[in-house]
Structure 1
Amino acid sequence: MLIVDDLNDWVGAMNGHPNAKTPNIDRLADQGTLFMNAHASAPLCGPSRASIMTGLSPSTTGIYGHINDNDIKRASDKTAQSVFLSEYFREHGYYTAAVGKVFHQKVAAGSFDDYGGRVKGFGPYPEQNMVWDDPRTNTDWGPFPEKDEQMPDYDSAHWIADKLKQAHDKPFFMACGFLRPHAPWHVPQKWFDLHPKEDVTLPPYLIQDMADVPDISKRITDHPMMPTTEWAVENGEYRNIVQGYLASVSFVDSCVGIVLDALENSQYADNTAVVLWGDHGYHIGEKEKFAKMTLWERATRTPLIIKPPKSKGKQVTNRPVSLLDLYPTLVKMCGLPRNPANEGRDLTPLLNDPTTKWEHAALTTYGAKNHAVKTERYRYIRYEDGSEELYDHKKDKDEWVNLANDPAYFEIKQKLAEEIPIEDAPWSNKTYYTGNDYFNQKTLEAGGKGKI
């Protein structure tokens, strides 16, 4: 299981950006099923990963913000009864190993047999920030350090590669969590050179894009520690930021390649399933932001590739799926008994036939009672105060025109609203940070450790 932090659709196989250069992720996509419409359960690392590893949605657990890995099972009655994905495989005879960022920080204690660790933070860091200097965020960009060997992701890739060279007398479940392209967008110069600044295409950006969204939408997506697109344009940094993100994606792609090469050269090449996912997407200037933590397409959508041991080869599906679906899908693929506590859906029907009938939507939650519903055509957002947004991706893939108040779409909104949970669990008092003052206040009210 290959996990990529803050990766949006800027990979070659997804045609998300014309300058994307990701030959190794593309290679995996050519061998398996690429889910073009996959979405995170939450647009933030902590709750997204907790959802994947427990098989439970944020609205069930109350984990809407970041949480310490060892507090997940103390977060609610539901999580107390949960079995982590890795634990479930171990209970069924698997050897389990992990390295890097798998849960939010490291891994929950005892959740894997072997853990190769991860560095603190997202370094290495230069002595001082290169461009953006706000202590509340890792955001910064520019070439650093000199060599790939100085990057933690390089070490993580080789740790897993070494595990694949070993003889195992049990089936194994291995997870490798990469840090890039999480900010800071610092990678060696050669990856910046791969994306010459003068050739970089800027993303679609609409001035006053936020004019037709409700006030609550503006409040919960206000992240003052990050630069705005207006600032980046006025200061001549927009193209530099895009270059930095593209460079970071290409670097982590090379680390994915290290693991894929090791698997292909191992004795396990023909009987090992491979899955790659990002924990959520990321705005690179769209909607006035360089951030995640929104309910729009750019922050919820992320790559998902699944290659079974006996793959049919390249397949692409546009059916809407959730990362919550990973737990039951991997269990089914490996022939293990179903875990009845799982809330996700088994995706193996789409692995068998990517065009099969699929009458489901993907749900993303950002704080209690704030939900986005995504189908093949529409995105419907409803906030805790009843405010709404609706976008028709057939006509408006950039989500520039909010149709929520158009009477012609009333019945469509009603149908999409059926996907929204009837009840949301209260905020867990184990959450400690959400990246937004509006939600940090709610964690404090819940008895958590919100930072304001």
Structure 2
Amino acid sequence: MVTRRNFLLGGAGLATAGALSQLDWFKALKQEYPNVLMLIVDDLNDWVGAMNGHPNAKTPNIDRLAKQGTLFTNAHASAPICGPSRASMMTGLAPSTTGIYGHIKDDDIRAANDKAAHSIFLTEYFRKHGYYTAAVGKVFHYRVPSGSVDDYGGRVKGFGPYPEQNYVWDDPRTNTDWGPFPERDDQMPDYDSAHWIANKLNEQHDKPFFMACGFLRPHAPWHVPKKWFDMHPAKDLFVPPFLRDDLQDVPEIAKSVTDHPMMPTTEWAIENGQYRNIVQGYLASVSFVDSCIGIVLDALENSEYAENTAVVLWGDHGYHIGEKDKFAKMTLWERATRTPLIIKPPQSKGQQISHKPVSLLDLYPTLVNICGLPKNESNEGRDLSPLLADPNHPWQHAVVTTYGENNHAVKTERYRYIRYEDGSEELYDHNIDRDEWRNVAREPGYQNIKTALAKHLPTENAAWSPKSFYDGNEYFLNKTIEAGASGRM
């Protein structure tokens, strides 16, 4: 058996492998070190069957993976927006450390600030330790940073294909629209990405691999072929509960931070008879991407790597589909921060469910440990291996989500505490209020709870990196101008 030291020496280890031929050495290497297959889904909330997030959800392939590994039902993004969420996960650093609060070009991540400059991307870390690395689709925010993987299959620009004219919603500041388009699955970029990774899984690899596939749907526009809409007849769909005066008890800054005028509101959707149609479009998009995930899972199961590959699936953040009068991400409420996370180690115990609060930031150290690699000491996340061994393992940690400088949400098993940069607060008790309709931050009985939760807030709040940008609403447009950056969502 090849020693771990030899593996970590990379090519130099071959010279110390003694009588082993190069072929035998690589065979031993592949047996000792697991492969990694990472599936990333854009804008995916809990509307998957395994999470019981929506009664009309149809996701047999995600559900299949959930039955084979550990499903984390209380997983949250480091940021409720694609760019900073992915940058955080891939660097192992929180947004409050890097100052990456908005979108950022992939090649600019390490130029964000001094701490980001010393980060090693997750793909690079595995590559550094002898892995072949491959990626396709949206893995970081746009593509992948230059030189961060051995083989990149690319991604289409934008989130098309697009019809000649939008079907319903036409605002140039957003991709939001819904309706059946195009005609066939093979016209969709995610279909191509799935087959690209599937083909890689069918190849012979002479050393362990780390492969990542980033799917675009259900990111808007909610355009997928008609058969996926037909799977979810609009007239039969459950519509999420909506409270018209939901925001009356939140501070003014919360309304400013979460004001997204380019998106439809729930009031508009109800008045124009579009609420169920939007729900249909989102569910159809989720079912479509689930089918693409199935292509990849089938390829893995039929490959020689099936028994020695860790599989992880995650969404980069959640999404409001009508809750709190919005169809958007970009808030610090539960709907925008919570997302599915499934981890299936090579030697999985089978189906497990953990309700402990975990972060996507925890993925980096967890995968490093699963694969037997040395720790990256700069990682700010926590290794989830204890919860993979026992999903009910004592876990006193909280999860932090950040949206802009010094705006944070702290999530435990029971509470969500939000503090904004002006000191304004929100607090929700999920034991009695899963919809977060009642802000109890000012109620006397919860003062000690707030004090305890506030201890989890970051002690460092890096200034906005001039390399990150966001113009999604007036509040963040002002922040962008202050930071000296510019750009479109």
The residue that corresponds to 2:7 in the other structure is none
SS of residue matched to 1:226 = coil
Q: Following the alignment from structure 1 to structure 2, what is the Cα–Cα distance between the partners of residues 365 and 345?
A: 17
The residue that corresponds to 2:118 in the other structure is 81
The answer to whether 1:21 aligns with 2:58 is yes
SS of residue matched to 1:277 = strand
The residue that corresponds to 1:243 in the other structure is 280
The residue that corresponds to 1:164 in the other structure is 201
The residue that corresponds to 1:417 in the other structure is 454
% same residue: 78
The residue that corresponds to 1:111 in the other structure is 148
The answer to whether 1:391 aligns with 2:428 is yes
The residue that corresponds to 2:216 in the other structure is 179
Contact 1:381/1:390 (CA < 8 Å) preserved in 2?
Answer: yes
Offset of 1:320 from its aligned partner? 0.1
Offset of 1:450 from its aligned partner? 5.1
The residue that corresponds to 2:484 in the other structure is 447
- Code of the residue aligned with 1:311 in structure 2: it is S
Offset of 1:451 from its aligned partner? 5.6
Contact 1:444/1:450 (CA < 8 Å) preserved in 2?
Answer: no
Contact 1:144/1:187 (CA < 8 Å) preserved in 2?
Answer: yes
SS of residue matched to 2:212 = strand
Offset of 1:444 from its aligned partner? 1.6
The residue that corresponds to 1:254 in the other structure is 291
SS of residue matched to 1:97 = strand
The residue that corresponds to 1:283 in the other structure is 320
The residue that corresponds to 2:361 in the other structure is 324
Offset of 1:425 from its aligned partner? 0.2
Q: Following the alignment from structure 1 to structure 2, what is the Cα–Cα distance between the partners of residues 450 and 213?
A: 29
The answer to whether 1:408 aligns with 2:445 is yes
The residue that corresponds to 1:9 in the other structure is 46
The answer to whether 1:100 aligns with 2:137 is yes
Offset of 1:436 from its aligned partner? 2.0
Contact 1:441/1:450 (CA < 8 Å) preserved in 2?
Answer: no
Offset of 1:442 from its aligned partner? 1.2
Offset of 1:449 from its aligned partner? 1.4
Deviation string, structure 1 residues 369-397 (Cα, Å, up to 9, x no partner): 10000000000000000000000001000
- Code of the residue aligned with 2:51 in structure 1: it is M
Offset of 1:204 from its aligned partner? 1.1
Q: Following the alignment from structure 1 to structure 2, what is the Cα–Cα distance between the partners of residues 319 and 431?
A: 31
Deviation string, structure 1 residues 138-182 (Cα, Å, up to 9, x no partner): 000000000000000000000000000000001000000000000
Which entry has the higher C-alpha Rg, 1 or 2?
2
1:33 to 70, 74, 81: 70
SS of residue matched to 2:456 = coil
Q: Following the alignment from structure 1 to structure 2, what is the Cα–Cα distance between the partners of residues 414 and 433?
A: 32
Q: How does 1:8-407 map to 2 (within 5 A)?
A: 8-407=45-444
SS of residue matched to 1:283 = coil
Offset of 1:198 from its aligned partner? 1.2
Q: How does 1:429-440 map to 2 (within 5 A)?
A: 429-440=466-477
Q: Following the alignment from structure 1 to structure 2, what is the Cα–Cα distance between the partners of residues 412 and 434?
A: 35
Offset of 1:432 from its aligned partner? 2.0
Q: Following the alignment from structure 1 to structure 2, what is the Cα–Cα distance between the partners of residues 447 and 286?
A: 33
Q: Following the alignment from structure 1 to structure 2, what is the Cα–Cα distance between the partners of residues 97 and 437?
A: 38
Contact 1:4/1:279 (CA < 8 Å) preserved in 2?
Answer: yes
Q: State TM-score, norm by structure 1.
A: 0.99
Contact 1:45/1:279 (CA < 8 Å) preserved in 2?
Answer: yes
Deviation string, structure 1 residues 394-444 (Cα, Å, up to 9, x no partner): 100000000000011000000000000123000000012152221121122
Cα distance, 1:230–1:313 mapped onto 2, change above 3 Å: same
SS of residue matched to 2:88 = helix
Deviation string, structure 1 residues 197-228 (Cα, Å, up to 9, x no partner): 11100001111111110000000000000000
- Code of the residue aligned with 1:357 in structure 2: it is P
Deviation string, structure 1 residues 59-104 (Cα, Å, up to 9, x no partner): 0000000000000011110111000000000000000000000000
Q: Following the alignment from structure 2 to structure 1, what is the Cα–Cα distance between the partners of residues 216 and 477?
A: 24
Q: Following the alignment from structure 1 to structure 2, what is the Cα–Cα distance between the partners of residues 375 and 422?
A: 18
Q: Following the alignment from structure 1 to structure 2, what is the Cα–Cα distance between the partners of residues 449 and 126?
A: 28
SS of residue matched to 2:308 = coil
Q: Following the alignment from structure 1 to structure 2, what is the Cα–Cα distance between the partners of residues 255 and 205?
A: 32
Q: Following the alignment from structure 1 to structure 2, what is the Cα–Cα distance between the partners of residues 432 and 424?
A: 17
Q: Following the alignment from structure 1 to structure 2, what is the Cα–Cα distance between the partners of residues 437 and 349?
A: 43
SS of residue matched to 1:135 = coil
Contact 1:274/1:307 (CA < 8 Å) preserved in 2?
Answer: yes
Q: Following the alignment from structure 1 to structure 2, what is the Cα–Cα distance between the partners of residues 385 and 434?
A: 21
- Code of the residue aligned with 1:58 in structure 2: it is P
SS of residue matched to 1:270 = helix
Specify every segment of 5 or more residues in structure 2 that has no aligned partner in the other structure, as ranges.
Answer: 1-37
Q: Following the alignment from structure 2 to structure 1, what is the Cα–Cα distance between the partners of residues 458 and 114?
A: 18
